[in-house]
Structure 1
Amino acid sequence: MLDASEPLLKIRNLTKTFGVPGGQVHAVNDVSFDIPRGSITGLVGESGSGKTTLGRTLLRLVEPTSGSTIFDGEDLNALSTRDMRDMRRRMQIIFQDPVSSLNPRLKVGAIIAEGLKAHGIGTAQTRRDTVADLLEEVGLKPEHMNRFPHEFSGGQRQRIGIARALALEPEFIVADESVSALDVSIQAQVLNLLLDLRERRNLTMLFIAHDLSVVEYLCDQIAVMYLGRIAEIGPAKPLYATPSHPYTEALLSAIPMPDPLIERSRTILRGDIPSPLKPPSGCVFRTRCAHAADECAQGEPQSVTVGAGHLSYCKKTKEIYARA
């Protein structure tokens, strides 16, 4: 194990390309950032920005095209299939759709115990005891293990998905839009559960979402993704208070205000997100950016440091957001 001060994950130049009719799609394009131990890192962006592909590529559920993911000192992309299978005990995923991700033919007990059985952990009775404990930990009852997924509400099914992810006692979890399909009141319960589990189990998480108010509540660090690239990354509070990329600013301006009498100044993006088959040259955001200049089309933007651990990938960051 590495020193606790070291990030649990170091993502370096990670790229995932899909071949499609008419060319190639760079779903994840040269992405680099760290995920600190015990933290929750939020990953936000519009639909089609590559968030889910990035999360699954980190776990090698989707094989990367190039780059590296260093997990606790080991490059996951260099591991053999056998070694990666052992590593999967330490990293799990909570899927977005709690309906399609649970096998309708299996009872809840069998679903949660599936990973334990696959890795040869425990006996039938000890696995049953573990499932009962996990169900209680996520706010359900031990007797629920004898029911089928369709007998539960959406929020309860997501709790079952969380229990399944916890069964192997992982250190790292990717939560892929894990509350987006839930009612607001149920969202709050699940978010509080995730925070409680982080503290109790010292979990590290990548929380993928499109609701920025949810991410602000839950996460320590935020990464903003656009068309396969990181646009901005930094600690949650500074990033929300002083966004340093035009795309981040536009996303934050779209968050509804809780007080209807207070009107937020909106930054309206022009046009639609470009096709990933033919991304713009230079900065991929320039075709929708009100501050774009000729230089933005020449070469990809490099990171600009705007604060401690706060980076913006915009050539005009210092000019647009000059601090007094």
Structure 2
Amino acid sequence: MTDTTQTTQQPDAADILLSVRGLSKQFSTGSGPVKAVEDISFDVRRGQIVGIVGESGSGKTTAGRCLLRLVEPSSGEAIFDGVDLFSLPEKALRAYRRRLQIIFQDPYSSLNPRMRVRDIIGEAIDTHGLAKGAARQARIEELLTRVGLSPEHARRYPNEFSGGQRQRVGIARALAVEPELIIADEPVSALDVSVQAQVLNLIQELQRELGLTMIFISHDLTVVEYLCDEIVVLYLGRIMEQGPARSVYANPRHPYTRALLATAPVPDPTVRRERVILQGDIPSPLNPPSGCVFRTRCPHAIAACAETVPTRETVGSGHSVACIRQAELVETYQD
């Protein structure tokens, strides 16, 4: 069933850099097919950060990698600046690699330990023929300075840096080819808490200065709230809730979104958050629940939830929810 719910407030088509429609990814395993992502749709406007959030196993990383064709999607469309990325042959796709980049989750494994930083950052510059000689070196030094490192760091190897510094190198590498869209896949989850804040501040500063368009993938709603303009909440490969960040945080309408918010730390000790306890773990995608995939952990599930796959319904400007009980649960949430 294709979800045709509009996810934004009817923006001008020229504002939309990426339009994802019906993205699905199914893996074949010895135990049977696994639906990692199923029929997700959303738009990314120019200069905007869209957050994709969910627990481990929700499909968010798979979705991001499908958009870059690092993993081949099973179906759907990803219209990037008027061109469907999923339909491009490999040769034509290469030209788009410059326009779409990724910041990986693990700064330790994503950098080649045998390469100096100048070569790690310069590799993409060389691949796309953007600069040579002194201009190449100047570009590398400029990028290092922009991400809070020193030009002298260009001579070092990755093992000479801390985790936070390595991730700054990864960010510089992503920026090297001046991309139009960056997918940040849990870029701070492997870092210490104190370092996380520094890297998040850097990403926010770069986004504002350079007018970057980003998809930010995270399991942490607090991080997403800090950075993102729009939020897509995934559970077991399906969208549960979606909309402007302010609307989703001020008025979360899906039980799963409320549960994620309940576990997020609040810096103000005087603020009390709703206590929501999810029973059990996220089900295996090899054997997903019938009907609503969240029903086995939902505190508000009823018999009908096992029989009906909910479609997203609009509950506000650009705000949609996939829950057959969302309307009647509003009063419960307000009590």
Both structures adopt the same fold (TM-score exceeding 0.5)? yes
Q: Does 1:237 align with 2:246?
A: yes
TM alignment of 1:151-162, pairs within 5 A: 151-162=160-171
Q: Does 1:57 align with 2:73?
A: no
Residue number among 80, 94, 103 corresponding to 1:71 in the alignment? 80
Compute the TM-score of the two structures, normalised by the length of structure 2: 0.93
Report what 2:20 is aligned to: 11
Q: What secondary structure sits across from 1:231 in the alignment?
A: strand
1:8-27 residue CA offsets vs partner (Å, 9 max, x unmatched): 11110001111111101111
Kindly provide the amino acid, as one letter, of the partner of residue 17 in structure 2. L
State how far apart, in whole Å, the 2-side matches of 1:200 and 1:4 are. Answer: 24
Kindly provide the amino acid, as one letter, of the partner of residue 127 in structure 1. R
Compute the TM-score of the two structures, normalised by the length of structure 1: 0.96
Q: Does 1:215 align with 2:224?
A: yes
State how far apart, in whole Å, the 2-side matches of 1:202 and 1:125 are. Answer: 27
Kindly provide the amino acid, as one letter, of the partner of residue 234 in structure 2. M
Report what 2:179 is aligned to: 170
What is the CA distance between 1:265 and its match in structure 2? Answer: 2.6
Q: What secondary structure sits across from 2:36 in the alignment?
A: strand
Q: Does 1:282 align with 2:294?
A: no
- RMSD across aligned positions (CA): 1.6
Moved more, 260-269 or 219-228: 260-269
Report what 1:134 is aligned to: 143
Report what 1:201 is aligned to: 210
Residue number among 285, 305, 316 corresponding to 1:296 in the alignment? 305
State how far apart, in whole Å, the 1-side matches of 2:124 and 2:299 are. Answer: 49
What is the CA distance between 1:182 and its match in structure 2? Answer: 1.7
1:49-79 residue CA offsets vs partner (Å, 9 max, x unmatched): 1111111111111110110111111100011
Kindly provide the amino acid, as one letter, of the partner of residue 247 in structure 2. P
What is the CA distance between 1:211 and its match in structure 2? Answer: 1.7
Report what 1:45 is aligned to: 54
State how far apart, in whole Å, the 1-side matches of 2:262 and 2:276 are. Answer: 6
Q: Does 1:123 align with 2:132?
A: yes
Q: Does 1:252 align with 2:258?
A: no
Contact 1:171 1:202 in 2 (8 A): no
Identical aligned pairs, as a percentage?
A: 60
Residue number among 110, 113, 116 corresponding to 1:107 in the alignment? 116
State how far apart, in whole Å, the 2-side matches of 1:301 and 1:186 are. Answer: 40
Q: What secondary structure sits across from 1:288 in the alignment?
A: coil
Q: Does 1:311 align with 2:326?
A: no
Contact 1:4 1:37 in 2 (8 A): no
Q: Does 1:146 align with 2:146?
A: no
What is the CA distance between 1:87 and its match in structure 2? Answer: 0.5
Kindly provide the amino acid, as one letter, of the partner of residue 164 in structure 2. G
What is the CA distance between 1:292 and its match in structure 2? Answer: 1.4
Give runs of ≥4 in structure 1 deviating > 6 Å. none
Report what 1:22 is aligned to: 31
State how far apart, in whole Å, the 2-side matches of 1:25 and 1:57 are. Answer: 15
Report what 2:5 is aligned to: none
Q: What secondary structure sits across from 2:249 in the alignment?
A: helix
Q: What secondary structure sits across from 2:296 in the alignment?
A: helix
Report what 1:264 is aligned to: 273
Equivalent pairs counted in the alignment come to 323
1:90-136 residue CA offsets vs partner (Å, 9 max, x unmatched): 01000000010000000000000111111222213321111011001
Kindly provide the amino acid, as one letter, of the partner of residue 178 in structure 2. E
State how far apart, in whole Å, the 1-side matches of 2:128 and 2:301 are. Answer: 52
State how far apart, in whole Å, the 1-side matches of 2:49 and 2:326 are. Answer: 26
What is the CA distance between 1:270 and its match in structure 2? Answer: 1.6
Report what 1:88 is aligned to: 97
Q: What secondary structure sits across from 2:78 in the alignment?
A: strand
Kindly provide the amino acid, as one letter, of the partner of residue 24 in structure 2. T
Residue number among 84, 91, 98 corresponding to 2:107 in the alignment? 98
Kindly provide the amino acid, as one letter, of the partner of residue 155 in structure 1. G
State how far apart, in whole Å, the 1-side matches of 2:232 and 2:319 are. Answer: 10
Q: What secondary structure sits across from 1:250 in the alignment?
A: helix
The gaps in structure 1 that reach 5 residues or longer are: none
